[in-house]
Structure 1
Amino acid sequence: MPPHDQPIALEFFAGGGLARLGLSARFDVAWANDLDAMKCKAWRDNFGADGLVEGDVANIQVDDLPPRPALAWASFPCQDLSLAGDRAGLTGGRSGTLFAFMARLAELRDRGDPPEVVVLENVKGLLSSHGGRDLAAIFSSLSGLGYVAGCLEMDAAWFLPQSRSRIFIIAVRQNLEIPTALLSHHDRPCVFQTPAILKAQAALPNALKWFVPSPPKPSVSLPDILDPTDTSWWDADKLTIFQQQLSDKHRGRLDALLGTPGRHLGAMYRRIRREDGLKQQRAEIRFDGKVGCLRTPAGGSSRQFWLVVDRGTLNIRPINPREAMRLMGVPDSYQLPKGTLAGLKIAGDGVAVPVVSWLSEQLLAPLVACSRS
């Protein structure tokens, strides 16, 4: 379908445009907004300047938004909701910007132009933030704007070799007659209706139980991600420090692999753990075919590293920006920003592209089609 025939999507909190990459097969992302200058430059470098508004979402004018939007997507800031953040919730300065987005939705409604579908994406901490009150506040706000909503928990590990669980709130206009094929029930369970989702939604009146089918088995494995041209492997001194940071449990895992033939690819994070009342920095490893959830590069525990065990030899180096983008399902044609930290920030703050693509294909596009039929 030519872009001008596709339904229009608005990409709020756009970052480097990863949601756009996932939506573009079925939507024309005709407008986007972000506050971060580096991310906006990356967006323009990859998609052009047309339609991008750099600035605070609170300052967006409704007249700047294109007419008849079908979808409003908002991957709103997660720092105040993340388990790694300070858990300030929606009262925090960053995640609280969600309500500026809600104000833009209200203005679109008042213009007589409300999006048929709204998607909010955030970390799993949203489900439990302030004992579930933040999630209830979001549902209440959407209801006041004329929407009914439901949640899904989708892990990038269904599509990519990265553990990255995210919550998606999908809302539609209250007067829409939703096809039963798009709803889950006890005879038709949905893998993305996880126990955490079911528990959270049990406290929410009229919450919808969306159905999205399980995707095919991932075609990308961890070795496909590795950049063979990167030779920034650690020297002997760094490897010694790493060995000292292993707990007995993780040292046992590594020693077992070092004693086996073949090549093994794994990942490592540094963590601060409390042991015997004292804080200790620990190196924690995994060799299960996945890396841990990518984070923005802020703080000593945010960087992730490759571990390669090959015939008794250990090598370690950081995951580079291109590899991080591959772990997010971003094609190598994507132009990275200058600087290692900038590229890692876009990946760590982003949403996995194939997750968005699958959600768009299986639920969002059918909902828009139903609304416009």
Structure 2
Amino acid sequence: MPTFYEFFAGGGMARAGLGPAWSCLFANDFDEKKAASYRANWGGDHLWVGDVAEVQLNQLPGKADLAWASFPCQDLSLAGSGAGLTGARSGTFWPFWMHITGLRDEGRAPATIVLENVYGTITSHGGRDFSAIMSALTEGGYRCGAVVVNAAHFLPQSRPRLFVIAVREDLDISDEHHSEGPSDAWHPPALRKAQEQLPDSAKARWVWWNLPEPALRNCGLADVIEEKPKGVKWHTAAETQRLLGMMSDTNIAKVNDAKRSGRRMVGTIYKRTRADGPNGAKVQRAEVRFDDLAGCLRTPAGGSSRQTIIIVDGNKVRSRLLSPREAARLMGLPDNYALPEKYNDAYHLAGDGVAVPVVRFIAECILEPIIALGDKNTKKAA
């Protein structure tokens, strides 16, 4: 059974994606509320709550097959502070990496590492932050590459995320798991440009990961919507009308097209500030989409960060906030996953997590075959 450490664990979504065939040796998060959810769903035997910088190497048992780290995105996000890896939150990558190098010095370097973060990580500080991460990994004895995977391949949510996948240099990588160059599906132009800007030493250990095309997504936005949601209420007619009144002509046209479609249409709305008022004044707009995808879930720092559901059935239009359970479903969590009681806590847990089926996809296509091959070669050598 492969083993793993889960840093920045949140509610354990990486653990959910890895599945029961993996054994957790250690999990860590700084947030007490998220830790409570982790305990409620996974137990607390392997969980340590506190600053990642304060983790001690003797808390990390054994020699793990994987270290997963979905480190904080706030300083790397395009909507964030722009501090990058020097920021107080995203800069926690460095103490995490200090632990990995400490394990290496003890002969216990994890076989594989996965770092997950926002797309903006690629371009943060003109690509210098991405270069710093890749240089650290390669200088630490890993071959690595990166892919951008959108959760929309598996779930009705638009959520492109960067996944850096590193493999200890003594392990074999089969030809089927890497290619000679980038693919359009997993290596967008921004990532290719970032790779070109890497130092020669990091380029020499770069891997163009080869992922298969996933099966067609078998669930739509309507499949996650609750008719009788817990934690939110349907808007009154006046509240829905007020929301429609915040839409630009383009977005109202989308609603009218949905009315004329002859079928029940489910969409989502985000409120955004746009400079399209009189004389270019900034106004808050409600922007709607009916493409069978929710917008990317975000943490509920303010009202505009919370997503709204809109259902159009003929001339009848209803709206309300996305429910906590719907947010969890959009991340691929099962309905038996225990969510926090408070709305904002549950929404924050989901919006700050990693999409469960994407973790499974990477584990199945890359991590598990490499780890199994390493185990096989070790047994042969013995």
TM-score over 0.5 for the pair: yes
Please say if residues 307 and 321 of structure 2, whose CA atoms lie closer than 8 Å, have aligned partners that are also in contact.
yes
**Residue 365 of structure 1: which of 359, 363, 368 is its match?**
368
Could you tell which deviates more after superposition, 143-152 or 15-24?
143-152
Q: Which amino acid is the alignment partner of residue 70 of structure 2?
A: S
The answer (yes or no) to whether the contact 2:331–2:356 under 8 Å persists in 1 is yes
Aligned partner letter, 2:321: P
TM-score (norm 1): 0.95
Task: Tell me the residue number matched to 2:256.
Answer: 255
| Higher alpha-carbon deviation: 204-213 or 8-17 | 204-213
Give the drift of 1:135: 0.4
Aligned alpha-carbon RMSD (Å)? 1.4
Matched-pair contact (CA < 8 Å) for 2:112–2:165: yes
> Per the alignment, in what secondary structure is the counterpart of residue 80 of structure 1?
coil
Q: Tell me the CA shift for residue 19 of structure 1.
A: 0.6
Matching of residue 200 in structure 1 with residue 199 in structure 2: no
Secondary structure class of the residue paired with 1:33:
strand
Number of aligned positions between the proteins: 367
Counterpart for residue 224 of structure 1: 223
Partner AA of 2:233 in structure 1: S
SS of the equivalent of 2:96 reads helix
**Retained in 2: the 8 A contact 1:72–1:115?**
yes
Match of 1:146 in 2: 141
The aligned counterpart of 2:380 is: none
Corresponding residue number in structure 2 for 1:277? 280
Asked if the contact 2:151/2:157 (under 8 Å) is kept, the reply is yes
1:343 equivalent in structure 2: 346
- Supply the AA of the counterpart residue of 1:342: D
Deviation at 1:195, TM superposition (A): 2.5
Confirm or deny that 1:317 pairs with 2:312. no
The answer to whether the 8 Å contact 2:237/2:318 transfers is: no
Asked whether 1:161 is paired with 2:146, we answer no
Mapped to 2, the partners of 1:65 and 1:44 lie a distance apart of 18
Gaps of 5+ in 2: 378-382
- Report the Cα offset of residue 190 of structure 1: 6.3
* Cα offset, 1:229, TM superposition: 1.4
CA contact (8 A) 1:26 1:360 kept: no
* Deviation, structure 1 residue 25: 4.2
Partner of 1:107: 102
CA drift of 1:100 comes to 0.5
Match 1:305 to one of 300, 303, 308: 308
Q: How does 1:20-31 map to 2 (within 5 A)?
A: 20-31=15-26
Alignment partners' CA distance in 1, 2:184 and 2:141: 26
Q: Which consecutive unaligned segments of at least 5 residues does structure 1 have? A: 1-5
Deviation of 1:239 after TM superposition, in Å, equals 1.9
Instruction: Name the residue aligned to 1:88.
Output: 83
User: Post-superposition shift, 1:334?
Assistant: 0.4
| Letter in structure 2 aligned against 1:345 | H
Q: Distance in 1 between matches of 2:324 and 2:365?
A: 30
State the Cα distance separating 1:193 from its structure 2 match.
Answer: 2.2
